[in-house]
Amino acid sequence: MRNASVYEANDIINSFKHELHVDFSIPVESGQYVIAKYALSNSNSIFEHMSHLGFPESLPLPEAWVHMLSTEPQAQVSVENVDGNLSINSSIRGAGIHIIVVEKHNVHS
């Protein structure tokens, strides 16, 4: 642990280039399933946004502008018809947190 400047922290985050492709199959009851994939990564971090501004000492824009920066998790949601096996694939690039949530879709008539 040590103190790092914002430039050094940004360089460390951007230099992490690992990539992982995940493919797996889960035996499930036949039916419809909702698959939600969430990702928090450096591509939507405050470091990424500030690096585009050159890490200014003070923001040239009103303070409310900072609140418009999107740092929310990226999300991808789909509904799939499954017959016995649910296949899931995902690509994970760089440092971050990736979550996949699978839930049986209950259709009410």
Average pLDDT estimate for 28-45: 85
Tokens matching residue 45: 């971090």
Residues 6+ apart with CB under 8 A from 22: 88, 89, 90, 91, 92
Task: Examine the pLDDT at 44 and tell me if it is beyond 60.
Answer: yes
Domains and CATH numbers, the chain: 6-104 (2.60.40.1500)
Task: Examine the pLDDT at 52 and tell me if it is beyond 80.
Answer: no
Kindly report the backbone phi and psi dihedral angles of residue 76, in degrees, each rounded to the nearest multiple of 5, phi listed first: -140, 120
Q: In the chain, pLDDT over 70 holds for what percent of residues?
A: 71
